[in-house]
Amino acid sequence: MKLLVEKERLIDDSMIYGKIFKLHRSYLIMISDNEEMGIGNVLLGNPPTIEGIKSSVASYELFGLGDNMISKIIVERAASYLKTSVILLSFIKTKKREDSFFKALVIFLNDILKEINPNN
């Protein structure tokens, strides 16, 4: 397991931490509002299996502690971008559930994904 990206960003008075690890033909993404990370929602995202077919990413909740809507969006976006399986550990304890907070989390994800070349 190799750490590819480690970033943090202040979003609505909450520090958000993100890490992406390269596994064998897959990735592990950890997103948390706690620097020590943790296990909250655990989801698996798989990209479409047939090239050229416009189908959605399949996501599966393996374990969850609360609302997983934003976790599902994050894992599906990451699997689609990276074109491989992604495991997401999302440990967000803040009670903020506004659209602006979710949008900022997705922008943060996009920024850390841009640092990875999925073809390597």
Asked if 77 contacts 31 with a C-beta cutoff of 8 angstroms, the reply is: no
The answer to whether residue 82 sits within a structural domain is yes
What are the pLDDT digits (tens) for 19-49? 999 999 999 999 998 888 888 888 888 887 6
Rounded distance between C-alpha atoms, residue 70 and residue 45, angstroms = 13
The answer to whether residue 22 sits within a structural domain is yes
The answer to whether residue 118 sits within a structural domain is no
The answer to whether residue 80 sits within a structural domain is yes
Asked if 93 contacts 62 with a C-beta cutoff of 8 angstroms, the reply is: no
Q: Tell me the CATH number at 63.
A: 3.30.230.90
Please name the amino acid found at residue 111. D
What domain count does the chain have? 1
pLDDT at 73: 87
pLDDT at 120 > cutoff 80: no
The boundaries of the domain holding residue 108 are 2-113
CB atoms within 10 A of CB 13: 7
The answer to whether residue 72 sits within a structural domain is yes
The answer to whether residue 120 sits within a structural domain is no
Half-sphere exposure of 12 (CA within 13 A, CB side): 14
The set of residues, in sequence order, having a beta carbon less than 8 Å from that of 58 and lying 6+ positions away, is 45, 46
